[in-house]
Amino acid sequence: MLTLLEIENVKNPVPVGDKNQTAEFVFVIISNYPRLQGLLFTVILILYITSLMGNIPIGIIIKLNPALHVPMYYFISNLSLVDICYTSVTIPKMLAILLSEDRTISFPGCAAQLYFFIALGPTECFLLTAMAYDRFTAICNPLRCVSLMNKRWCIQLVAGSWVSGLLLSLGQTSLIVTLPFCADNRINHFFCDVPPLLSLACGDTSKKEIALFTACVLIVIIPSALILVSYSRIISTILKITSAQQRHKAFSTCSSHLIVIALFYSSATAMYLRPTSSYTPERDKFLALFYSVVTPTLNPIIYSLRSKDIKKALRSLILRKSLNPNCKQPATA
């Protein structure tokens, strides 16, 4: 069932291509089970708060603790920033839609949401690749690790990841927003994303679809190939270690990174590296919910629970705060 607002928009769809009117899209969040809307709002809100409460403290702990000022945790803090942005680009609008009867988003607003959401995907890909290279130097070239992963090079890798993501998204977003949209302006999705917007386009869009698919393949394949090469060398080096304790320690430093890589690439591949004809709104909505909400929530849990350094720094920070509470400020005259 559709709400009265959605029915009205179906009867009188906004002609997106009409330059004389302000173009709007209408989100169709839950059409078959409207009673689940309240439950979905509660679940997404809890996941969003959990994600923020997990990612923000990681950045603060790494910033305040000098012992964590090493390349691995520098990359983790930036990955936490990406996850904060990932959820904040989509979830606030999603919650507002679920809470109110207004399910519309302007065409510029949709384009902006699409741009930043697309930009964060390549940024995370490149950060995960940089983290793999850091693990490679630490395990395979421990004597040269400090010189290879110096502060300047780490800053360049992180800056390059962000800039590359923003530039690549500019090209992909321009391909989407210039599509010939027709009368139907209903987005059967939680937010503005590539597959649902492609499904609304009319006319011959095959060339743009090929360009978008090629860009997605390159963004996924090249970083994943570099990660695969790095970890093949890492595993080969670890297996040569004679001490079982040292082998376990080496594997444990990489396991969190590998879990995050598996979560990110499996969901991204299932969503984007497939033909547009296989797009199924109901399945893809919840797949998108997984990689845009659930994965950013799991990442800090994976890193914090498996990292002894972060847990130690957190305990130290809590202990220091409990032993040295803030003194009352003297009263002013």
The CATH number linked to 276 is 1.20.1070.10
Please report whether residue 149 resides in a domain: yes
Please report whether residue 29 resides in a domain: yes
pLDDT of 133 above 70: yes
> In degrees rounded to 5, what are phi and psi of residue 190?
-80, -25
Q: Which two tokens stand for residue 331?
A: 């009263």
Residue in the structure block whose two tokens are 């978008």 = 212
Percent of the chain with pLDDT over 90: 27
pLDDT of 47 above 60: yes
pLDDT of 215 above 90: no
Predicted local confidence at residue 310, as pLDDT: 81
Report how many domains make up the chain. Answer: 1
User: In 3D, which of 126, 19, 129, 127 has the Cα closest to residue 78?
Assistant: 127
Please report whether residue 220 resides in a domain: yes
101 vs 165: which has the higher pLDDT: 165
pLDDT of 161 above 50: yes
Residue in the structure block whose two tokens are 């090929």 = 210
Percent of the chain with pLDDT over 70: 84
Predicted local confidence at residue 6, as pLDDT: 39
What value does the mean pLDDT of the chain take? 81
CA dihedral 203→205→206→208, nearest 10 degrees, is 160
User: Three-state SS for 257?
Assistant: helix
Predicted local confidence at residue 278, as pLDDT: 61
Please report whether residue 325 resides in a domain: no
| Alpha-helix runs per DSSP H in the chain | 4-11, 37-64, 71-99, 107-140, 145-148, 151-177, 194-200, 206-239, 244-272, 281-289, 295-306, 308-323
Contact 297, 44 (CB under 8 A): no
Predicted local confidence at residue 279, as pLDDT: 64
Exposure of 26 in the CB half-sphere (CA atoms within 13 A): 23
Predicted local confidence at residue 30, as pLDDT: 66
Please report whether residue 328 resides in a domain: no
Please report whether residue 235 resides in a domain: yes
Please report whether residue 47 resides in a domain: yes
CA distance 271 to 29: 18
Predicted local confidence at residue 212, as pLDDT: 83
Contacts of 243 (CB under 8 A, 6+ apart): none
Q: What is the pTM of this model?
A: 0.83
Please report whether residue 331 resides in a domain: no
CA distance 291 to 264: 7
Q: Show the domain range for 214.
A: 4-319
pLDDT of 20 above 60: no
